[in-house]
Structure 1
């Protein structure tokens, strides 16, 4: 099922249009206000500069002041009701803005901008916390991709229309006022169709002190290291994007030689690229939360950021180009490609991070973690502005600032992936498995979304743990033969995935006992554990008899058991078919079709080795 089907579902579509219309109005109002100050009021350059620099600060200030409070609201109360109040607040703010446009009252419009910042601050924790309540786990990546795409396009369209309407002599302020009020009203009516989203922590004791609550929210955000580093990654995305977008006006004029239409084209390319990358995440991840895409996104941001510098780092040979004449100029298509692909890889980078935070954070804390994320985002946006301004003051050109941000991205990525090697491990797994195989999965939804479970699977090749690791929607602890665990390069992947090495009783009884103890501890902690009960790779393609170790595990701790079967791996370079037939281990089926079939979970106490062996044989069938 395509993610676009969600746009026809009531549990997603009204929310999608509500948030998209809100993003549009934010952008349209801000750009209309800037155009009014810069071109309609005849103000001196110093005053225009003051207002245009003050505007972003006023919009972002509420994120520091009220994010923690907004996170509490989203946890304690029903979310749909809060959304409707927020949309009514937006209507009131836009009515106030209408008078400001009419009277050319910039202080009042700056106040409205602050109010719109409050609007976005309160809506932010709800925006991402409501998705896991409305969507299935298989829809989370696709839903986040649609939200990110809708937000990017809404901001872009709002910017274009806000600029265009305010430039209409005489009637611009009235058209801008009518547009923003109208969109706010439509957004409110869209919000009335959003299904209820119950409070996730109704017993939460409300703290009205924004300072102490901010400290507490940041502490909650930091409590899970993997989630916190995902939040840092999201904040870095805002830093990188802010640096890039802030330099585009000078870059367009000085390095591209373009007019305002080229500026619009450049923003369009970046926004469309981000939207395309966001939508591709679902396809590339197989509808699961695949953080292996994050290192790929980080690599693309650096590669095409560096290439953007080399594509045009000097002054433009021609000035005053329109968007069409720019596209016809020599070297322009390389710049077009770089800007678009920076956006695409930004989508690969940020969408899995948001989905990861949503999937890994308990529902009763998610809104406050998103609030903490918003606080850090705001901080990084401020730092990005200071970074760009500082480099400009010491003489850096826009392309040089792009290059500095792209190279700094390498250091930040290495830092994050070193702290949480799971990101890099998932990337290696994702690349290996998707390069070598085309995998079809049937029944993945059968695996419990929470709580302990024992997964049992046939063992055909050395790649089996990686294939399962790349396709399971929950992290699992794999029990594997210690010699496979110690294979160079893959040892990093297995150790990072907290695999459990095991040996035979005659080989090393101490390692065997440690393995059983580790399996029991993992199940006691509510984790998934995956074992290959045959005790080794199949030597003839058939499912070998299951060893009694599985019963020893279940005797210590009764948990649900899920049978699985891999199909299509016998005869691959990583199976034992070649060694059986004394043939060289050479690949003959690049991108081979492989299937993973998952059975319904069996209740605790209803499984034994013989029954599970028979079920895995049935699932495997004749497709070895």
Structure 2
């Protein structure tokens, strides 16, 4: 990291926990970059919405353009550069200083918008298509710079908030760009001139903002660039596949872009052909969608407690499908009005409010889905390869968006209406979600853990930051209930290899889930001595690979609420690979239905106005040489305190 960013980062480390993500907008390490990104997204949408609106509602001015497929064609042309140049741009972002690259990209944007301005003034579709392609080149080069910049200037605890702000800013820019582009295109007399002037002006302001972006050191300056886009694309994808969770997260984000592109590019024809509405209503639809994803992105920091909470991803995908399906039923069979309604008339019809609510909630859940995935990729990618991983993401995004455009064009040409397109996308989303979560149950388990903790418990964390974010460690915890592992999992910053009773793996569902998150089955020596030795060896290998291993040294659930004597199992693990031992204590689960209490009860979602209380306390790491069963039991008992 450069010296120019070291001071702000050190200052941020001392910031109070309650400052919130908006504090970043006052700091140079983030604010100039944020506004540069914001203005770029704004210009993209002023141009694309203006162009799309003109060819949809004023097609007579553009010879040879089909208004029914123009929006999908514009989207496809914008995405093609991501396929062609993402691999190269990822290498460039890893090799060169990022502030300099940002300024070059913004200077290029000015030239591109001069071409686009000429296209608007001359009503030249070929010039505007060329500008669309070049704006795609602009976004292709800036994408890896953008997402590789954040981890160099933000702390891990700020990544979710920073990404949330960027996502929120992007979709607010989409909203403003939609309003400006749509309004300008609606002016028959001077609309083209206004669009041209606006695009060039925003590009100039963006270039000024980029001048304040702090110097950001190149992470691999000695990298030799492979200029062959095909071989480098394959190499980037292979690089991304080295971490299975990261790669599948890339696929998850790309799928979201498939869904988002399908909806966003459909709004013009949806408004005109289904809702019988004018371009101003398109602005309302796009604005509602943008506000929804912006709010969802901002909520992620609060819901995830400032950490990368992938449990929000399944929640997001469920919401996307539910409200997309309801959007189909809300808009299917609406009778044509016989004329194009304005905003006022549109809002007087009750079913239209249901449509707006569906769009808002669908987009909000899209925010829940995307922000944790971006933060996960940034946090788990190697710093020296991060920009190329983002480039791989852009390659996959572009491929999925092109397929989205081709699917939409094909279904539309086959006579499928826009509501049918929405329903198809929603059903496909269910299939893709089931497939991804079957491959990476970590997402699903984190979701279940998140639901459990946030539905039934108000959890209090004590020194949870002591769970290491990197490197091997053995976590030892008292064993109170059947959900101890899920609670610990919900508060850990990274995956944990839990050592669990072998009988759990006989359950078809639970066993399948824990096998896929690499839980380690164990049995007492008198039951299966070979399995016991195999479990110790597996734990040793996991520690050697830098993983977290969690074991419950009591060996069984407590039947009295008191801590049972700790056994020596963790000592056998440490003999195979030495690692720090982190003591953990749970309190508040004894007496719940998940425990062996004689009078166990379901925890109540609301108890005297306050959710059931649960505490997870983490002690100081202990040197493995000092980690005796007696010492660890004493430490865990002190952490737990008197309350069970």
Task: Tell me if both proteins adopt one fold, taking TM over 0.5 as the criterion.
Answer: yes
Deviation larger for 119-128 or 494-503:
494-503
1:22 aligned onto 2:37: no
Structure 1's consecutive aligned runs of 4 or more residues displaced over 6 angstroms after TM superposition are 36-42, 50-53
Shifted more, 386-395 versus 37-46: the winner is 37-46
| Residue in structure 2 matching 1:586, options 581, 601, 614 | 601
Instruction: Please name the residue that 2:98 is paired with.
Output: 79
User: 1:333-372: CA deviations, max 9, x gaps?
Assistant: 2212211111112222222222222223222222112111
Task: Write out aligned runs for 1:364-375 (5 A).
Answer: 364-375=384-395
The answer to whether the Cα contact below 8 Å between 2:590 and 2:597 also exists between their aligned partners in 1 is yes
Q: Pick from 52, 60, 63 the counterpart of residue 82 of structure 2.
A: 63
Aligned to 1:254: 273
> Could you tell me whether the CA contact under 8 Å between 2:185 and 2:192 is conserved in 1?
yes
Q: In 2, distance between residues paired with 1:16 and 1:414?
A: 35
What residue number does 1:398 align with? Answer: 418
Shift of 1:536: 2.5
Change (3 A) 1:96 1:242: closer
Alignment map for 1:5-404 (pairs within 5 Å): 5-34=23-52, 43-44=61-62, 46-47=64-65, 49=67, 55-98=74-117, 101=120, 107-165=126-184, 167-168=186-187, 172-316=191-335, 318=337, 319-404=339-424
Structure 1 residues 26 and 534: alpha-carbon distance in aligned structure 2, compared to 1, 3 A threshold? same
Residues 402-437 of structure 1, C-alpha deviations (whole Å, 9 max, x = no match): 112211222222222223233223323332333232
Q: Does the residue aligned with 1:455 lie in a helix, a strand or coil?
A: strand
Note the C-alpha offset of 1:589: 4.2
In structure 2, the residue matched to 1:3 is 21
Q: 1:520 offset after TM fit, Å?
A: 0.7
Are the equivalent residues in 1 in contact too, given 2:505–2:512 (CA < 8 A)?
no
Preserved CA contact (<8 Å) 2:21 2:162 = yes
| Deviation at residue 503 of structure 1 after TM alignment | 2.3
Rounded Cα–Cα distance in structure 1 between residues aligned with 2:53 and 2:519: 58
- 8 Å contact 1:292–1:425 — kept in the other structure? yes
TM-score (norm 2): 0.89
Q: TM-score, normalised by structure 1?
A: 0.92
Deviates more, 1:73-82 or 1:610-619: 610-619
SS of corresponding position for 1:46: coil
CA distance in 1, matches of 2:72, 2:251: 26
CA positional deviation for 1:76: 1.6
Question: For residues 38 and 400 of structure 1, what CA distance do their matches in structure 2 show?
Answer: 20
Is residue 254–residue 316 contact of structure 1 (8 Å, CA) maintained in 2?
no
8 Å CA contact 1:429–1:493 kept in 2: the answer is no
Q: Secondary structure at the match of 2:525?
A: coil
Alignment pair present for 1:446 and 2:489: no
Q: Do 1:246 and 1:388's aligned partners in 2 also have CA atoms closer than 8 Å?
A: no
Distance in 2 between residues matched to 1:190 and 1:494, nearest whole Å:
49
Distance 1:254 1:542, change over 3 A: same
Contact map agreement 1:433 1:467 (CA 8 A) in 2: yes
Matches of 1:38 and 1:397 in 2, distance apart?
Answer: 16
Distance 2:293 2:525 in 1: 54
Q: How many residues align?
A: 619
Please identify, of 481-490 and 179-188, the stretch whose mean Cα deviation from structure 2 is larger: 481-490
Q: Which runs of 5+ in 1 are unaligned?
A: none
How far the C-alpha of 1:75 sits from its partner, in A, is 1.3
Pick aligned residue for 1:464 from 465, 484, 500:
484
> 1:616: which partner in 2?
636
> Secondary structure, in 3 states, of the residue corresponding to 1:530?
strand
Q: 1:241 to 1:588 in 2, by over 3 A?
A: closer
Structure 2 residue runs of 5 or longer lacking an equivalent are: 1-17, 606-610
